[in-house]
Structure 1
Amino acid sequence: MWHGEYRDPRLVEVYDAERVWGWEHDFFMRVLADRMAPRVLDLGCGTGQLAIRMAGDGHDVTAVDPAGPALDAARRKPGAARVRWIQGSFETLPSQAFDAAFLTGHVVQHLSDQEWTGALHALREALVTDGRLIFDGQDPAHRPWEGWGREATERGIVLDDGSLVLAWTERAKPEGDVVPVVHHYLFEDGVELTSTAALRFRDEDELRDALRAAGFRVDQVYGGWGREPPGLGHDGELIVIAVAEPRMVR
């Protein structure tokens, strides 16, 4: 899949312009403040908005992303010098180096089952015992993909130079638990760029089973940014806080 919002410089600018600070960011900052966590990992950090804020609050933040153009945009932001930026993925994480790890922006939906399993085991290795893993995904029970089409998703995005980008999303027929999508971006100069993804939706039971197998204990699962239980409210999220269990001694 071509995740252009992170890899094409023009689409990175669009992505950054549309992702303003919101309720979800406030939620993650409150969760981070719930417990002492000096060393924080932001895996799949994108253009770095959350990582920079966490570093600004005094945390030692390592931000990791496989996409160089997204990291380039992150490094140009005010406060970016406080963050340790690394181009890579979960395969390169150091052992027992973090007190908390975040995967935000529905990153988990972009991972295949094999990648998801590998990421969870790598994150358990990267976290200290009792370290927390915090991530979010859309609840498949809400079937969010049914509302994805040009008529429902078309919107205008204003860039820093004042130009307008027309954006919309279209989906193909779901293939089991995977939903192929195409994001369209039409610029004022007539150029249309697209970004594709194959989104894997996991329900609460799947998430719990995978976390348990990787050495985590689920602490909380929320259905929205106001900490509502799953299935209640209108956010349609599955927001998980898991704790790294002690390693088995052999």
Structure 2
Amino acid sequence: MSDYDARLVDLYDQDNPDGPDHDFYRSVADDYEVKSILDIGCGTGILTATFAREGRTVVGIDPSETMLAFSRRRQGADTVDWILGDSRAIPPKQFDVAVLTGNVVQHILDPEWQRTLRDLRAHLRTGGVLAFDSRNPTARAWETWGSQERSRRDTPHGPLVEWADVSEPDDGIVTARFHNQFLRTGESVTETARFAFRHADAFGRQLAAVGFEVDAVYQDWVRTSFTPEASFMVFVARAR
């Protein structure tokens, strides 16, 4: 994959701050009193580093070296084992909990998603927990992403102008192009991303196929049971 622009990575935590979603994932780890936790697609590590406890192993994996470089500079970074790669880079051990947060599963297209699930099952102990979230395609979130109207904000790298182009789904895949213009230098950066929108029943079938049993599906971070019209889904599954 082409890596992210480091200036945009610097803004990631500002755009995606610690909040109730992170509280939920921390509660999953604490509820099960886990000794080892795996964060796939850990990004800047804003959540990953907070999983650390005395006697707990924390591993963060991400395919972006730029993201991991940021992670390694944050407070508490030395409590985490940061690994460049995807699920194929999971170290050879059995984890108690694995998480994929911030809708990261939508960045993993099929068949790589099925491979990721197989890798996760292979590295979770029997009874181990897998938790992740994804947008519900019924809510059509992509319709709010694209706009030719340009927004401007001040950043540590000078004024930044942003806008986006977004496609309609093609076989469940939405392609988005996020345009960024740095006014101080006149540079423009366009990041293209593809998002897989999967329905809840599809996730259920995929999980069952590789040896997971769904414990719960929520529609918010306070554990309200999922309903078909909800905007997103939070899955908690257990390795059989």
Q: Which residue identity is paired with 2:121?
A: R
Q: Aligned partners of 2:163, 2:188: CA distance in 1, in Å? A: 11
Structure 1 window deviating more from structure 2 (92-101 vs 65-74): it is 92-101
> Which residue number corresponds to residue 142 of structure 1?
139
Bigger drift between 110-119 and 90-99 goes to 90-99
Q: 1-side partners of 2:27 and 2:83: how far apart? A: 25
**CA deviation vs aligned residue, 1:68-94 (integer Å, no higher than 9, x gap):** 111000000111011111111111223
How far apart, CA to CA, are the structure 1 residues paired with 2:227 and 2:158? 39
Q: Does 1:172 align with 2:172?
A: no
Counterpart in 2 of 1:90? Answer: 87
Deviations 1:125-148 (A, max 9, x none): 011110000101001111111222
TM-score (norm 1): 0.88
Contact 1:140 1:202 in 2 (8 A): yes
Shift of 1:58: 5.8
Matched, 1:49 2:46: yes
Deviates more, 1:21-30 or 1:40-49: 21-30
Measure the CA separation in 2 of the matches of 1:167 and 1:19: 16
Tell me by how many angstroms 1:151 deviates.
6.0
Aligned to 1:100: 97
Verify: 1:223 aligned to 2:219, yes or no.
yes
Distance in 2 (CA, whole Å) between partners of 1:35 and 1:47 is 25
In 2, distance between residues paired with 1:134 and 1:171? 28
Indicate the residue corresponding to 1:35 in structure 2.
32
The aligned amino acid for 1:231 is T
Aligned to 1:21: 18
Q: 1:176 is aligned with what amino acid?
A: D
Q: Which runs of 5+ in 2 are unaligned?
A: none
Other structure's SS at 2:99 match: strand
Per-residue deviation, 1:18: 1.6
Q: How far apart in 2 are the matches of 1:163 and 1:57?
A: 40
List structure 1 runs of 4+ shifted beyond 4 angstroms: 154-158
Q: How far apart in 2 are the matches of 1:165 and 1:24?
A: 27
CA distance in 2, matches of 1:127, 1:186: 43
| Letter in structure 2 aligned against 1:208 | G
Q: Which amino acid aligns with 2:188?
A: E
- Contact map agreement 2:7 2:157 (CA 8 A) in 1: no
Partner residue in 1 for 2:59 = 62
Check whether the contact 2:217–2:225 (CA below 8 A) recurs between aligned residues.
Answer: yes
Quickly say closer, same or farther: Cα 1:232–1:175, change in 2 above 3 A.
closer
The aligned amino acid for 2:221 is: W
SS in structure 2 of the partner of residue 49 of structure 1 = coil
The two structures, once aligned, show a CA RMSD in angstroms of: 2.1
Contact 2:102 2:133 in 1 (8 A): yes
- Give the share of equivalent positions with the same residue, in percent: 37
**1:213 is the counterpart of 2:209:** yes
1:240 alignment partner, one of 232, 235, 240: 235
CA distance in 2, matches of 1:33, 1:21: 17
